[in-house]
Each structure stands twice: as C-alpha cells, then as structure tokens.
Structure 1
Amino acid sequence: MNLKNYKPLLPLLALAGLAYVVHRVAFYVLDIDDATFYYSIETLYMLFLVLSIMVFLVLLKVKERSFDNVGMSFLLSTSIKMIVCYLILKPILQATTQNNAIEKKNFFMMFILFLAIETVLTIRILNEKQ
C-alpha cells in the first residue's frame, strides 16, 4: 500500500478537525445547547468525515485507472452522498423540538462545509494533470 497515493486525504482530515474546533467554540460562545439535538455534533462530523473519505477513496481509485472520469465520479459519489445525508436528515425534519431550526441549520451548514472541502480537494486532483 503506497501512502503517497492517499496524501490528498490529509488536508481533508486537517480541515475537518479545524472546522470541528471552530464549531464547538462557536456553540460555546453563542451559548447553544446541543444536548437536545437528535444527532450530536461529534456524530455528524464523524459521519460526514467517513462519507468524504469514501468519496475520496473512490476518486483516487478512479484517478489511477482513468483520470478522465474523475469529474463524473465526483458527481456520482456526491449524489449518492446527498441521498444518504437526506436519509440521515429525515428524523430531524420530522422532529418538533424547540431547537429544531438550529439543528436543521447546523446539519445543512456542515453538509455545505464538507461539500466545499471535497470540491476544492477534487479540483486539486483534477489540476494535477496540467
């Protein structure tokens, strides 16, 4: 196993860790209680991180076999990830708690954050050919 091929995963891990710390600090400063959330912040970060790692492992495998298909693979894997995230989000959408609006915004902001990270790192992979 050549670890050099999996080097693009390091920025993903670093950015996810940094985002988690900033997220926790923001919740502390804004005095937001996440104890009543359906999913804890840690659970969501682990979920999104695992899904993002899976997307990147697929992209790295596709890159080794056919570099021209990396973009399409990204679109397909992101679409599958979106379906999985909707299935995870469904209980939050159906809940009627007081923090429900905050929890929905929290989930969508995390989804957008990880999507942005994945997009930037995929652009890096695509620019390696030039």
Structure 2
Amino acid sequence: MLLKNHKTILHLLFLTVGAYIVHKAVFLIFGIQDQNFHYTIEFLYLIFFAFTTVLFMILLKFKTTHFDNIGMLFMGGTFIQMFFLYFVLRPILIDKLQNMAIEKMNFFITFILFLIFETLLTIRLLNEKH
C-alpha cells in the first residue's frame, strides 16, 4: 500500500538518477570543469529533487481529499519553488566571471528538466482514477 501511494516519488527518483548520469556524462565528454561553479551538479540535483519530492508528497496527501484542486496546488507549489530557487540562482546571476554563462545554462537546464518531470508526473497523477 505504501509503495503504491508513493510510486510517483519512485518514478521521480529513477528520472533524476537517469538525468544526472546523462548530465554528468555530457560534462565529462565536453570536458567542462565545474570546480569554479557556485554549485556542483550533485548539489543542484539534490536541491531540485528535494523541492520536487516535497511538492509531490503534498500532492499525494491532498490527492484523496482535494483531487479537484491538484492542478492549482501544483501551480502554487511550482511558484513557491521558483521563489526559493531564485535565491539559489542569485549568486550565479551576480557573478561576472567567464564561466558563469555555462553555470547559468547548467542551472536553467536542470530547472527546466525538473519542471518537465514535475509536469509529466502531475499529469499522470491527474489521469489516475480515484
């Protein structure tokens, strides 16, 4: 029963691990050095995974009682997530070093990737019969 209720979180974990492996491989193939980055790839994936997991735990909790409001709850949670992640992004935006363009692109690719994950998993959650 517990695994069935949290299957979405398990799918998110698999998507995150797969995306991390591909992301890290791209960095290795192109020889991109991330030593001067404010945040490592691992930290970015960890923080995005944490925010997304919290959002889905809330969605799963309200799925049984407020199924009609899941979409609005998802949009509100995503807005709050974007607000907090701006503070993570702020040091990258302020820094004027050369490789910051790569770090900004790295952050936004990770953000868009997790936004796609969240959207796809929410669609799956909304399509389930309750």
TM-score (norm 2): 0.96
What secondary structure, in the 3-state scheme, does the structure 2 residue paired with 1:8 have? helix
**What is the distance in 1 between the residues matched to 2:92 and 2:6?**
34
Matched, 1:112 2:112: yes
| Pair 1:39 & 2:39 matched | yes
Q: Deviations over 1:85-117 (max 9, x none)?
A: 111100000011111000000000000000000
Aligned residue in 2 for 1:125: 125
Report the aligned-residue RMSD: 1.2
Where do residues 58-77 of structure 1 align in structure 2 (5 Å cutoff)? 58-77=58-77
Cα shift at 1:2: 2.6
The amino acid that maps onto 1:12 is L
Ranges in structure 2 where 5+ consecutive residues have no aligned partner? none
Question: Secondary structure of 1:74's match?
Answer: helix
- How many residues are matched? 130
**Structure 2 letter corresponding to 1:91:** P
Instruction: Give the corresponding residue for 1:78.
Output: 78
- In percent, how many aligned pairs have the same letter? 51
Question: Which residue identity lines up with residue 61 of structure 1 in the other structure?
Answer: K
Amino acid paired to 1:118: E
Deviations 1:33-83 (A, max 9, x none): 011100111001000000010110011011021110100100000000000
- After TM superposition, where is structure 1 displaced by more than 6 Å over at least 4 residues in a row? none
- The two structures have a TM-score, normalised by structure 1, of 0.96
CA distance in 2, matches of 1:31, 1:64: 48
Q: Which amino acid aligns with 1:64?
A: T
Unaligned runs of 5+ in 1: none
Residue 23 of structure 2: aligned partner? 23
